[in-house]
């Protein structure tokens, strides 16, 4: 499996409390990247009043794939993130300056 064993569990499972996704930082750097993407996407959708259906229609990404990304249930691929970023015209990754960064352990 690409990404090793860590990807056997969904990103939200890499937090101390999965119910706090996407607010609680993750210890796994890949899951932390997904968390930042989910937070950025959720913020853009909320700010612009866009539904999951509108995001799916505009980006060409399946609505359930977007819902799973936002909920931390899936590992999005680069194409998915690129399509969502192009549709929203916003950088979903890397995190913007001032956003909590991954901590080096």
Give, for all 105 residues of the chain, the pLDDT tens digit: 455 676 789 999 999 999 999 999 998 999 999 999 999 999 999 999 999 999 999 999 999 999 999 999 999 999 999 999 999 999 898 876 544 443 333
CB environment 65-80: b (16+ within 10 A), e (fewer): bbebbbbbbbbbeeeb
Q: In whole angstroms, give the CA distance from residue 3 to residue 62.
A: 23
CA angle 41, 45, 46 (to 5 degrees): 115
User: Model's pTM, two decimal places?
Assistant: 0.84
The CATH number, out of the four listed (3.90.45.10, 3.40.50.1370, 3.10.310.10, 1.10.260.40), of the domain defined by the range 28-88 = 1.10.260.40
Query: What long-range pairs does 11-19 form, CB within 8 A, spacing at least 24?
Result: 11/35, 11/38, 11/72, 11/73, 11/74, 11/75, 12/71, 12/72, 12/73, 13/72, 18/72
* Res 94: pLDDT: 83
* Res 82: pLDDT: 96
**In whole angstroms, how far apart are CA 74 and each of 34, 38, 71?**
9, 11, 8
Token reading at 59: 């980006």
Residue 3 dihedral angles phi and psi, to the nearest 5°: 95, -5
């Amino acid at each position: 499996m690409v990404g090793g064993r860590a990807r056997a569990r969904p990103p939200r499972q890499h937090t101390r409390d999965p119910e706090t996704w996407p607010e609680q930082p993750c210890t796994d750097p890949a899951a932390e990247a997904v968390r930042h993407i989910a937070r950025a996407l959720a913020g853009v959708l909320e700010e612009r009043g866009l539904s999951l259906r509108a995001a799916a229609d505009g980006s060409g990404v399946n609505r359930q794939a977007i819902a799973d990304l936002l909920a931390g249930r899936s590992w999005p691929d680069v194409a998915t993130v690129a399509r969502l970023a192009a549709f929203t015209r916003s950088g979903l990754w890397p995190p913007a300056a001032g956003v909590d960064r991954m901590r080096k352990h």
